[in-house]
Structure 1
Amino acid sequence: MFERVKLVWRAYQLLMTKHPWKVQILTSGGLVGFSDIVSQQLVERRGIANHNVKRTVKMTTVGLIYVLAVAPCFLAGFITVTGFLGGLPREKIWLKLQKDYKNTLISNYAIWPTAQLLNFYFIPLEHRLAVVQVVALMWNTYLSWMANRM
């Protein structure tokens, strides 16, 4: 069983490297849709007969479009603005985007969906903000390092 999980994970990582946008969009949409299913079935205890499919489709669509649209724009803007504020000329900022953007975006999608999923399902409400802040501290440390290395 563990070997199958490792095999699936390797395949996912390979696909993420070859088709990062497609895989991230599908992963994000799938996680948001799956989260709605878990919410309706385990949290709200609606049962299969009362499952609101329309709601799950709506949530999946949000995951496919909105969640993916925010991170890529934010990260591109972050790299550009930190380069500009750091005094880099336009050409070096463009080279930095070409060099760092893809790996940063992949790292974003490796960290945040998992952190939020675990936080939402296993951490009591009163501790969720603290958990997100700890993950954000680590993520922002990474962003600072990435944005300021040459």
Structure 2
Amino acid sequence: MAVSSANATKAVIRTQQGWRRLIKPYLFSTLAIGTSVTLGDFICQYLERHKHRKEDVIPRTSLSSALPWWNSERSLIMCTSAVVVSTPWNFTIQRTVERLFPGKQSKQIAKKMLTNILLAPIGISLMFTTITLLKGQSIGEAKIKVKTDMPKTFLTGSCYWPFVSFINFRFVPLDYRPFLGSLAGAIWNIYISSVANTTADIEQPSEITLTNLISETGGTTIPTLEKAWDILDQNKKDL
């Protein structure tokens, strides 16, 4: 019993020491990612300062009269999403990937890069969902946002991040990778901020089109033709 108690105590101590060793890197990651996202959004708003966007659902509240174009509430939402969602996700993924594929050999780096690419859609979806909900929009609108913008964001990121990841995994120590990632992320977050804060206009069609009919009837010919003739007849009567 004494041996078991001693082993349990040692296990608890090792666990506590392990968690303590993670505190500093996690705080560093939080600071780096939060700053990167906020800076990216600030630059994005500056670039869009002459652009009046009807889809902006966040009321413009500026903390400074010298920066009337700056929506501080939007920047706060972006920063909050980075601290609450992006940091825990990225921190966990980076640590897990490093443990699964240790080393700086080309094969290991390729595995790390591939894992990051495969998991990227989840991270992007979590980010878009969080930002949408923080704006006060619904879960349904968040689903539409993810469905509309996640694929193109993923494809764009797939052309950008592999190069950054290679440099990060090959030359930068684990605890300092968030720093380089944040430098590259500041550029990336300009794009992310633009996409995340663009609301797609969903127009309700006033008339049923033949294209909609074909898609709604599952491609069956006869029902589609029948409805098409009905529409044509109705249009003739209206004329």
Report the TM-score when normalising by structure 2.
0.33
Structure whose residues are more often helix by fraction: 1
1 or 2 for the larger relative contact order (CA 8 Å, sep ≥6)?
A: 2
Report the TM-score when normalising by structure 1.
0.49
- The structure with the largest alpha-carbon Rg is 2
